[in-house]
Structure 1
Amino acid sequence: MCIKDNKEEILTMFKECIPLLNALADETRQRIILILAEEEGLNVNMITERLSLSRPAISHHLKLLKQVGIIDMERKGTENYYYLTLKDSVQMIKSFINTMENNCDLK
């Protein structure tokens, strides 16, 4: 049971985490994250070579990961190179967990 006074705050924080959690739930996006964790600064073609999906499919997943702040890109010439930027995403989840721990009976 959560403390009534903070119930709205907890629900708001949870709603803010939903896009991030949805992005992390997809197996392809998980694989892209792992690829970028091993070798940062990859372009779409480099990522496509490591997965059995089309370039447009990979681009779609990269766009979703970028929207939720898990990755970012840097333009070099005509190519976009992707890398992990987990700080804000991890902070969002940590804040939500801390709020839950401090305001809810987790028995």
Structure 2
Amino acid sequence: MDNFTEKDEAIRLFRDSIPIFQALSDPARQDIIILLDEQGQLNVTEIANHSKLSRPAISHHLKVLRDIGLVSIDQRGTQRYYSLSLKDSVEKLKALITVVEKTCL
């Protein structure tokens, strides 16, 4: 792979990672991620019980996190339980770091 192609790959990976950075930049979403890491699977009510945010606000933040793949849902009857699903995002960020180290440092 020549340098031009590597830089193109770095730009592509960086742009693909922007939604992850945007989601992680919000303190409420950071709190949700930390809570799910500490507690495991939780439903919206359980998450809201640990937050100052309303249930609708929690649902909105969970949707953002779900849409980019940072959380997953386990449907149990009428309840939806959320848990962390970081593998794909972590792999994407690792690839970005690798290509940036290779092309920019």
Q: TM-score, normalised by structure 1?
A: 0.92
Please list every run of 5 or more consecutive structure 1 residues that lacks an aligned counterpart in the other structure. Answer: none
Counterpart amino acid of residue 68 in structure 2? V
Cα distance in 1 between the residues matched to 2:26 and 2:60: 12
Q: How does 1:10-89 map to 2 (within 5 A)?
A: 10-89=10-89
Could you tell me how far 1:7 is from its partner in structure 2? 1.8
How far 1:41 sits from its partner (Å)? 1.2
Whole-angstrom distance in 2 between the partners of 1:95 and 1:7: 13
In the alignment, residue 11 of structure 2 is paired with which amino acid? L
Gaps of 5+ in 2: none
Amino acid aligned to 1:72: S
Root-mean-square deviation (CA, aligned residues, Å) is: 0.9
Amino acid at match of 2:55: R
Q: Indicate the SS of the match to 1:69.
A: coil
Query: In the aligned structure 2, how far is the partner of 1:5 from the partner of 1:39?
Result: 43
TM-score normalized with structure 2 length: 0.94
Between the two proteins, the alignment pairs up a number of residues equal to 103
What percent of counterpart residues are identical? 45
Deviates more, 1:4-13 or 1:42-51: 4-13
Deviation at 1:89, TM superposition (A): 0.7
Distance of 1:5 and 1:49 partners within structure 2: 49
Q: Could you tell me how far 1:68 is from its partner in structure 2?
A: 1.0
Q: What is the alpha-carbon distance in structure 2 between the residues aligned to residue 77 and residue 5 of structure 1?
A: 49
Q: Which residue of 2 aligns with 1:9?
A: 9
